[in-house]
Amino acid sequence: MTPEIILTTPDCEIVSSRVVNASRDLVFTAWTDSNHLKNWWGPAGFTNTFNEFDLRPGGKWSFIMHGPEKGNYPNECEFIKIEKPSLIAWNRSSKPIFQVVATFEAVADNQTKIVFKQIFNSANECNKIKPYVIDKNEENFDRLENELVQMASSS
């Protein structure tokens, strides 16, 4: 049985959102096509090596984020819900452990609101990384917007 999305309280969540100038379908593709996702996933300066990307409930996403100065950060995730083109959710099983729910809402023909929610089992776990993650999520969105521009210009 596939795990469900965790119901939580605001003190256990980190929520980042942004409206981007791209269609919901293009945004969904940027999040679900590993050839695009690897180009933008992570904070500024990071690169990725994807070992496995099986986009289906129960499918694994295994990758290594390479820091700009030093460090390799293994990530192990399992997709739990995919609703094209509006939602992707996964459980992260490498530390820190949390669940991600990303939603995509069309706000105009060529504008999409992205809500990226990281859900933790406790406020304590959430507060350990919250001071760092908010700015890093904004860098991640910046990189996504650059990828969306590249995708739009090549289509």
pLDDT tens digits for the chain (155 residues)?
455 665 667 899 999 999 999 999 999 999 999 999 999 999 999 999 999 999 999 999 999 999 998 899 999 999 999 999 999 999 999 998 999 999 999 999 899 999 999 999 999 999 999 998 999 999 999 999 999 999 999 87
User: Is cis: bond before 85, omega within 30 of 0?
Assistant: yes
pTM of the model: 0.92
Q: Which residue has the tokens 């289509």?
A: 155
Contact, 19 vs 117, CB < 8 A? no
Which residue segments constitute the domains of the chain, with CATH numbers given?
10-44+82-154 (3.30.530.20)
Please tell me the distance from the alpha carbon of residue 68 to that of residue 46, in angstroms, as a whole number: 5
Backbone torsions φ then ψ of 51, nearest 5 degrees = -95, -35
The secondary structure of residue 95, as a DSSP letter, is S
